[in-house]
Amino acid sequence: MYVLISVLIIIASILLILIVLVQNSKGGGLASNFSSSNQVMGVKKTADFLEKATWTLAVSLLVLSLLASMTIPRGEIEEKSKIEQQVNNAVDPTQMPQFPTSVPETEKTEEGNEE
């Protein structure tokens, strides 16, 4: 499904690029070349068609992009990165036992009093 939507996105993008390049923001462009007298559609109708096609392709590109993001195959990755393995295998320093390096002063005086 993802591959089909990706192909449709590419086709819509190419068509959108071509239609935008055909248009001229001043009202000329390719539409001005169709001003012959035996033309069924006039310049205004051609410009309207190009504008509607642009908006339709832009909206379809947006919808297809959203659909593609929902259908991305998200299989379980078996290999973990080395950093992730190190993080998972790291020992929590707060859980390590605390070994005293010297006897505190209070224990020394208590030991001396007992004798």
Look at the pTM and tell me if it is higher than 0.85. Answer: no
Percentage of the chain lying above the pLDDT 90 cut: 29
Handedness of CA 61, 66, 67, 73 (dihedral sign): positive
**With 70 as the cut, is the pLDDT of residue 112 above it?**
no
What are the domain boundaries of the chain?
1-15+41-73
- What are the φ/ψ torsions at residue 101 (nearest 5 degrees)? -95, -25
pLDDT in tens, 69-102: 998 887 766 777 788 888 888 877 777 676 767 7
Q: What's the pLDDT at 64?
A: 94
Tokens of 31: 């539409």
